[in-house]
Amino acid sequence: SDLNMKFTYPLKEVLFKAYSLDVSRCLQEFPFKVKGAVSGHGNFEVNGRKIEKGNARFDVNSLEVDNLTFGILDLKSANFGNGEISVSVKKRNLLNIEINLSGRDVDVISTGILRFNSRDFSNSYVNLNFKLKVKKQPFNGKTFNFKLKGRLMEFL
């Protein structure tokens, strides 16, 4: 795995490229276990503490989730497979997020926003709509729709 980042000084632009990052090391604070790899690239223009412009794309590979519980949805282990996550700046510090994953056990489509808090990232506000199609028993073929809405710190 490898992560390359470039910054201008004073901070005006952030560029990055990531190769085969271990998702389990990046998402250790989640209430469920996540395995897989992510690669991607991005370019963001910054003005002071504000993200002004930019976008990023992440390719997700072999995503596995263990002990995922949400309402009646309880999956001990599920293969979410491969897909992509796209992030684009809609306006200052407001990021659009799109997630598309397809795996042996679950397909995921999600859209929404993240309002970036530069002073405390964990206090950033997220509003994502999820559609999960579960392909394994006992939910074979069922679709679950839910929202993840609130401060990031509330979910970790």
Burial (CB count <10 Å: 0-12, 13-18, 19+), residue 75: buried
Report the predicted TM-score, pTM, of the whole model to 2 decimal places. Answer: 0.89
Write down the mean pLDDT value for the chain.
91
- Does the pLDDT value for residue 29 go beyond 80? no
* Residue 28 in tokens: 């250790």
Flag the least confident range among 95-99, 102-106, 117-121.
117-121
Q: In what helix (H) or strand (E) does residue 146 lie, and over which residues does it extend?
A: strand 143-151
Burial 117-136 (b: 16+ CB within 10 A, else e): eeeeeeebebebebebebbe
- Does the pLDDT value for residue 119 go beyond 70? yes
